[in-house]
Amino acid sequence: MRINHLSSLIFSTLSCVQIHMSSFLLCWVAGDLTSFLGCFLTNQLPVQIVTAAFYVNKDLIMISQFVYCKLKNQKVTKGKFLQQLKCSP
C-alpha cells in the first residue's frame, strides 16, 4: 500500500517539476533584469553593469535551452504515441 503512494508521489512530483522550473526561471530572469536596470539607471561602475548584462545573457541562454528541450521532448512523445497508434491492430 505504501509503495503505491510513494510511486504516485514521485510521478506527481516529476510532472510538477516542469511547472516549477518555468516559474523559477522567469523569477530568476526578472531578478537579473532588475539588477541590470538598477545598475544602469544609477550609473554604477562599468564592471557592475557588464556583470549584470552577463547574467541577463546567461539567463536568456538558460531559457532558450529549457524551451528547446521542452519542445524536443513534446515532439518525441507525440512521435511515440503516433507510432503506437499505427502499430496497434
Percent of the chain with pLDDT over 90: 37
- pLDDT digit string (tens) for 25-64? 888 899 999 999 999 999 999 999 999 999 999 999 988 8
Q: Is 43 left (phi over 0), alpha (psi -120 to 50) or beta?
A: left
Helices (H), the chain: 2-41, 46-87
Question: What SS3 class is residue 43?
Answer: coil
